[in-house]
Structure 1
Amino acid sequence: MSKITEKIAKLLALAESPYEEEAKAALLQARRLMAEHKLMPEDIEPQENKKVIQECVGVTCTKLSSPWTVYLSTLIAAHYCCRPYRSSVHGSKVSEIGFIGMEDDFKLCKLAFLYAYECIASRCRQIRTQKEYPAKTLREMCNSYGWGFCRGLSAAFQKQEAEHQEWGLVMVVPQAVEDAVSKMKRSSYKISPQSSMNHQYAAMGYADGQEFDMRRRLEPSA
């Protein structure tokens, strides 16, 4: 292995870091070097070692109880070069969240999604302890918080992309992933209109979503 391919290989290894900015910076530098030296991915690592992962991540949702979950998966997937999907048994209202992506991208995407989901779920558990409210009102509070968090996270991602426009070279969904997704049926839950939300909890969620930071992630369960 030449010095340049060895350097690129080390950068690609660093790109597996769970720290988002470190991972993207390493991946960007690796891709720039590959372009400069006219190298293809298979010149660095055998293509057979790269595989597309399609897998559910253990989080379920319904249109009534947690419709924001689908929107959250879409936001996270787009930020980690993956595509989301939902798996459900025919006739069931419950869907399980899954992602499709290259192996390294999938690992980061899954970790980020599970952390973001747990951030929302944890706050929702706190909201439900307010027993003075009926179940329908508590559900509205929780869903308003979830939608607000997603909107805040979307704003945070847009700000990051504006500040790091060079990340556009990194955040491209590989063609192999797009090919896998093209064979699947796509669907999503409709985003709740502002008029139906509890504005206090939506604002609380928005603020927390803007502050979401993978560096404070929860360790994945064993």
Structure 2
Amino acid sequence: MNTKIVEKIQKLLALSESSNENEAQLSLLKAQELLAKHKLSLKEVKEFRAYNSAIKEKISSVSFTKAKWKAELARLISDNFGCYYYFRTKRTHTITFFGREEDVIVCNIILEYAIDCINSRVKQLRYQYSKEGYSTKGLENDYALGFIYGLTQKFEKQKKAHEEWGMVLVKDSEVVEAHNNIKFTKSINTKIQFKGYIEAYNKGQEDGKDFSISDKIAEEQTEEQLFLI
């Protein structure tokens, strides 16, 4: 298999998620053209990437004790990028991703970026609510829940638009086997409850749907030298 051709297809597939609609369409068409020309399938592109990258864990800079929504956000991201997540616990629970090297890097980038976006919006909302004399206890929780639901909808919409990508997003068998061999000593309760801030929840859902993932990954790609499918 021609390595340069496969890597070019990977780059085009990454660009096909660009926020620039024209660029996205052109990139996807070019990727499909190369797949047909070289008689390659998306599965082969995925397998090539998988067999040429190590299985690793990456400990993020994100930890929590009470903000359990961070765990739910990590779950959503890991499920959509072929990884697992778990916690390294010592006083706080630090989110850790496990999977193919380039996938865990991507998960980490998206998690940290999403949390930055959530924190920035919550800061604005807290100022607005406080100014109007309302309590802000639980506001972060409800906005984050809305954001996560909105991001879930965004992922589902992308999957429906590109049904052939389903095989690319699933965890490969080696990652599953390696994860099954990890011995976990205890589980963490990450159940979340809605606190009643419906307006904040709705705003979070709106922002989650509009969350731009590909633009942030593009910023990090040169430094990390990774290719996202």
TM bracket (short chain) = 0.7 to 0.9
- Pairing 1:81–2:82 present: yes
Which of 6, 9, 15 is matched with 1:8 structurally?
6
Per the alignment, residue 176 of structure 1 pairs with: 174
| Preserved contact between residue 8 and residue 33 of structure 1 (Cα < 8 Å) | no
Amino acid at match of 1:211: D
Gaps of 5+ in 2: 19-23, 224-229
Deviation at 1:189, TM superposition (A): 0.8
Per the alignment, residue 70 of structure 1 pairs with: 71
| Preserved contact between residue 55 and residue 175 of structure 2 (Cα < 8 Å) | yes
Q: TM-score, normalised by structure 1?
A: 0.75
Deviation digits for residues 49-89 of structure 1 (CA, Å, limit 9, x no counterpart): 42012011101112x3x211111111111111111111112
Distance 1:37 1:169 in 2: 7
What's the secondary structure of 1:170's corresponding residue?
Answer: helix
CA distance 1:18–1:84, shift in 2 (3 Å):
farther
Amino acid at match of 1:72: L
CA distance 1:184–1:207, shift in 2 (3 Å):
farther
Amino acid at match of 2:198: H
Task: For 1:1-222, list aligned pairs within 5 A.
Answer: 4=2, 6-12=4-10, 14=11, 17=14, 20=17, 33-34=39-40, 41=47, 47=51, 49-62=52-65, 64=66, 66-89=67-90, 92=91, 94-129=92-127, 131=130, 137-182=135-180, 183-185=182-184, 187=188, 189-193=190-194, 196-217=195-216
Q: Percent identity?
A: 25
Deviation at 1:178, TM superposition (A): 1.5
What's the secondary structure of 2:96's corresponding residue?
Answer: strand
What's the secondary structure of 1:54's corresponding residue?
Answer: strand
CA distance 1:36–1:155, shift in 2 (3 Å):
closer
Q: How many residues align?
A: 205
Amino acid at match of 2:108: K
Q: Is the helix fraction higher in 1 or 2?
A: 2
Distance 1:163 1:105 in 2: 22
Deviation at 1:154, TM superposition (A): 0.7
| Preserved contact between residue 70 and residue 188 of structure 1 (Cα < 8 Å) | no
